[in-house]
Amino acid sequence: MKISIVSFLVSACVAVGVSAKMVPGYNQTRRPQVHFSPPVNFMNDPNGLFYYNGTYHMYYQYNPTGITAGNQHWGHATSDDLYHWHNQAIALSPESPDEGIFSGSAVVDVDNTSGFFGNQSSSNPGIVAIYTLNTPSKETQNIAYSTDGGYTFTKYSGNPVIDIDSNQFRDPKVIWHADTKKWVMAVALPTQFSVVFYTSSDLKTWEKASTFSHHGWLGNQFECPNLVQVPVHNSQQQNSGEYKWVLVISVNPGAPQGGSFTQFFPGEFDGTHFTPEDDAARWVDFGKDNYAMQFFYGTQNKTLGVGWASNWQYTNIVPTSPWRSAMTLPRQYALWNDPVLSWQFISNPTDMSTIMKKNLFSGKVTKSQNIKLGDGSGAYYFDIYVSQDQGQATQRANFTFISSSTKEELRIGLLMDNGPFFFIDRSGTKGFDYPLFTDKFATIQYGGIGGWHVYGVLDKMILETFLNEGEQSATTTYFSNGVLDKLSISLDSGLSATVNVTALSSGWDQ
Ligand code: FRU
């Protein structure tokens, strides 16, 4: 297996920087501090997410030689808490310039079903990666195995494991289906708006089981399917102890707001066939920057996932250097059948206690308040309950992150007008001007427990917002020229807000 020179140098730099305060290369003005981004060059989809023995592994689509998409490899990073990341050497590389190692998944083969791990002890099980090999003539499904816990891989000599002679056949996501004691793969036929399910006993021989096609929002292509079991809540917050299957499908191009988006289908899976609850198209995020999400293999009863915080409409030209793109926050998922809104995919950032640094403001705001942001890495957690003490049709609550040097603004808020609507407005940040970089997003937000609950993370370059205990969420990239160093709150009369703002430490502090 080849390890590219760039990846070797990057790993070496990171190793040298271990004693420094921050990993070198992670202090640029627009560099996210609590969202993962690669040290240099272009990244897209999360791949091969798995958890084993205290360590989360994240691979990702990576171009080690350029800052736009192409020359696809699997980059690799590890973490104990999903916020502090260690960059690792590239895990999978193509054999020639016209090959690409496209998206896929990874599993822990604890029972050595594949037969690759004959001499390995059960405390150090083998890892199998399942990925698409893209060539000019076709896309096939391939596997590679790792005997060192996921750091280095050997490609299987019997590859490809599935070849249907198609050039639109990609993104295998494999899970273990305990009831039928089989591996199950969901893989996309993008231009046929289909997800095909295959089953296997050894990860090498696959049998076609069923096809799920033409459901939900079609757009122009289906990509990156994920089948996962999710805890069901019987209110926004309360776990019922039951689980339900969810099929997630990414669509690009042709999302409702343009470019890329991710939709989900709650339903049942019997080991071969997925049956959705209904045929509705439901989105994971109402922003434009959460694509190709994948769930971690091996997290037992928790459903944890990460998405790529970008959109193919503009990802190759956004103004960051020497890297492009970041992942969303790691999120924990649940399902809730909201009596008004129908099935909701509840998502919340996973435990952030390892990066919570210093409370900057805590209190009730009745009219206006300015909060100075500082004392951290440039990333902040905010938590706001808005309550309507006196109702008026057109009330508005504005929460505006401002750069005092450039006067740029990134605004979120509530608008009661025929709504209530929750809105995000990135038009006041001036570092990126492009017609498809949609500048405003809004969704209906019904009042929840104790008012309208809005919380999330402002990081450099990414704002991630959650509403009503995670019932709705939005990931929004933004590109300001100045640092956002103030939160300015203004409330129309009749509204009040309970506000908490906490500075976050950097995930790149070592
Ligand atoms: C999704 C995607 C996948 C493909 C990968 C290539 O963003 O287009 O379908 O495997 O990116 O990098």
**Domain range list for the chain:** 42-349, 356-504
Ligand 1, pocket-test mutation among 103, 173, 192, most atoms within 8 A of CB: 103
Q: Encode pLDDT of 432-444 as tens digits.
A: 999 999 999 999 9
Phi-psi region of 149 (alpha: psi -120 to 50; beta: other; left: phi over 0): left
Whether residue 6 is predicted with pLDDT greater than 60 in this model: the reply is: no
Is the shortest distance between the CB of 467 and ligand 1 below 6 Å?
no
Q: Which atom of ligand 1 is nearest to the CA of 102?
A: 10
Whether residue 41 is predicted with pLDDT greater than 90 in this model: the reply is: yes
The span from the CA of 375 to the CA of 131, in Å, is 42
The alpha carbon of 260 and the centre of ligand 1 are apart by a number of angstroms equal to: 11
The alpha carbon of 103 and the centre of ligand 1 are apart by a number of angstroms equal to: 6
Q: Encode pLDDT of 149-174 as tens digits.
A: 999 999 999 999 999 999 999 999 99
Is the shortest distance between the CB of 72 and ligand 1 below 6 Å?
yes
Fold: same for 42-349 and 356-504: no
The alpha carbon of 407 and the centre of ligand 1 are apart by a number of angstroms equal to: 37
Is residue 338 among the annotated active site residues? no
Residue whose structure tokens are 């129309």: 492
Q: Which atom of ligand 1 is nearest to the CA of 134?
A: 10
Q: Whose CA is nearest to atom 6 of ligand 1?
A: 102
Superfamily (CATH) of domain 42-349: Glycosyl hydrolase domain; family 43 (2.115.10.20)
SS3 track for 285-331: CCCCCCEEEEECECCCCCCEEEEECCCCCCCCCCCCCCEECCECCCE
Q: Would you say 266 and 276 are in contact if contact means Cβ atoms under 8 Å apart?
A: yes
Is the shortest distance between the CB of 223 and ligand 1 below 6 Å?
yes
Q: Could you say which architecture CATH assigns to the domain 356-504?
A: Sandwich (2.60)
The pTM assigned to this predicted structure is 0.94
**Considering only CA atoms, which of 212, 249, 246, 207 is closest in space to residue 229?**
246
Q: Which atom of ligand 1 is nearest to the CA of 61?
A: 12
Q: Encode pLDDT of 313-355 as tens digits.
A: 999 999 999 999 999 999 999 999 988 889 999 999 999 999 9
The span from the CA of 13 to the CA of 7, in Å, is 10
Whether residue 185 is predicted with pLDDT greater than 80 in this model: the reply is: yes
Residue 115 pLDDT class (50, 70, 90 cuts): very high
